[in-house]
Amino acid sequence: MIVILLVFSVSKLWSQDPNSFKTFFDEPKPVEDRNFKIPLIGDTAPSFTAESTNGKIKFPSDFGSSWKILFSHPQDFTPVCSTELIELANIQSEFDKMNVKLIAISTDRLDTHEQWKKAMEGLLYKDQKTINITFPLVADVDLSVSKKYGMIHPESNTTRDVRGVFIIDPKNTIRAIYFYPKEVGRNTDELLRMVTALEKTSSEQVMTPANWKAGDDVLIPTIPKTGATQEELASEGIYKLSWFMWYKKAK
């Protein structure tokens, strides 16, 4: 009786779809939700507390009323990211003059961050002098920061950060976002230019044209009031290329 019952049960299993046999014996595997929302321009920057090469930091409160650039790396000791950190350290003084704070994030451990930092500070990159990396490298082993900033993407085949950049103003509002492929290095001069442009537009209520650099003329967002003479406009440094493109001379 027992033998007959066993044969019947196995036969029933094999008579079904082949996948049912696999499902019967295999334990179900949990599927990780990787659809993490990326905070958008105009959103308040998500806050976090984490260990870093500069000690424990509370972001953004520890950085006061400054501009902040938060950028992520997929892994320590990656060659592209190493060049970026060195280049950022090379122009650290320029960011300091503008009261811009830099914060780097990677999902590796703090001790690995320390080793990576030490290795980079000993390199003679592009025949330049050795550098000191004074901005913090944040350890995000549990991915909590990366998830808050949407830096783990569904299309990525690992839990490593994608290469994101968030520029955040003194009011802790996100003002610009970039994402880069792992094989192309970020342009550090563009990050500096972007913050310069954002500071300019915020303080003077103007806009910047394509390829704008500090010292170039700017665009004004509204057409000057009707009735103003060319002389009056010129006295204010205002001129136009067309009725829809009004400029203001750089001060």
Enumerate the active-site residues. Answer: 81
- How many angstroms separate the first and last alpha carbons of the chain? 99
Contact 72, 161 (CB under 8 A): yes
Residues in the chain: 251
Question: 112 in helix, strand or coil?
Answer: helix
Is residue 165 within 8 A of residue 178, CB to CB? The reply is yes
Q: Select from 125, 139, 130, 110 the least CA-distant residue to 49.
A: 139
Can you tell me the distance from the alpha carbon of 207 to that of 191, in angstroms, rounded to the nearest whole number? 17
CA angle 177, 67, 179 (to 5 degrees): 15
229 DSSP 8-state letter: -
User: d(Cα 39, Cα 150) in Å, to the nearest integer?
Assistant: 7
| CB atoms near residue 211 (< 10 Å) | 7
**DSSP secondary structure string for all residues of 46-83:** PPEEE-BTTS-EEETGGG-SSEEEEEEESSTT-HHHHH
